Amino acid sequence: MVDYQKIRNDIAFGKKHEHKVKPTLETLFGELVFNHDTHNFDFSNKDFYVEHKQRNLTFGRYDSLIFDKVKYDKYLQLKETNPKLQFFVVWSLNDNRYMWEVTQNSEEFYIRDKYDVDLKKWRSDKKTVCVKNEYISKFTDFEVVIQKKKKTKNKNLN
């Protein structure tokens, strides 16, 4: 039996952390907008799509960090339309924040059936992308992509 209250709680948990992490993400990507619940990525602007995952674990506990394959499929679709777009997955874990730039390089990830925690079973009809740890970097290892110009005072030189 599906526990709908647990699902609602999980969604609320995710939304709460999206609001908390948004200012941090904006230090790297510039101003981001929250996307609608049915959108595949949590945040975007004209140059970037960002998916955020809050997880109660430490990096290295498993061989990879995961996200739903439907998001990867959406990446492929949007990338075909606009090759200049960049896509990132950010995981906020207990020990730090980590990030991976989504790529088509299949050496960096593998795809497996999704484990449904609520149903407590593997689902062959849904897939998960498992990004290998060696291709995931700390959030702080990335350089600022967009930086707001600092305002300078006009000084009259005369």
157 falls in which pLDDT band (50, 70, 90)?
Answer: very low
Up-side HSE of residue 26: CA atoms within 13 Å toward CB? 11
- Please state whether the predicted TM-score (pTM) of the whole model is above 0.85: no
Considering only 96-100, 108-112, 145-149, which range has the smallest mean pLDDT?
145-149
pLDDT score recorded for residue 77: 95
The separation between the first and the last C-alpha atoms of the chain, rounded to the nearest angstrom, is: 78
Out of 3.40.1350, 2.40.160, 1.20.1270, 2.30.29, select the CATH number for domain 4-140.
Answer: 3.40.1350
More confident residue, 60 or 2: 60
- Using the structure block, give the residue that is written with the tokens 């992490």: 21
Which residues face 49 on adjacent strands? 44, 87
Positions of E strands within the chain: 33-34, 43-44, 48-54, 64-68, 86-92, 97-101, 109-116, 121-132, 137-138
Of the candidates 16, 28, 26, which has an alpha carbon nearest to the alpha carbon of residue 54?
16
Domain ranges of the chain: 4-140
pLDDT tens digits for 25-60? 999 999 999 987 667 899 999 999 999 999 999 999
pLDDT score recorded for residue 6: 58
Cβ atoms of 22 and 34 closer than 8 Å: yes
More confident residue, 147 or 43: 43
Cβ atoms of 26 and 56 closer than 8 Å: no
Asked if the model's pLDDT at residue 83 lies above 70, the reply is yes
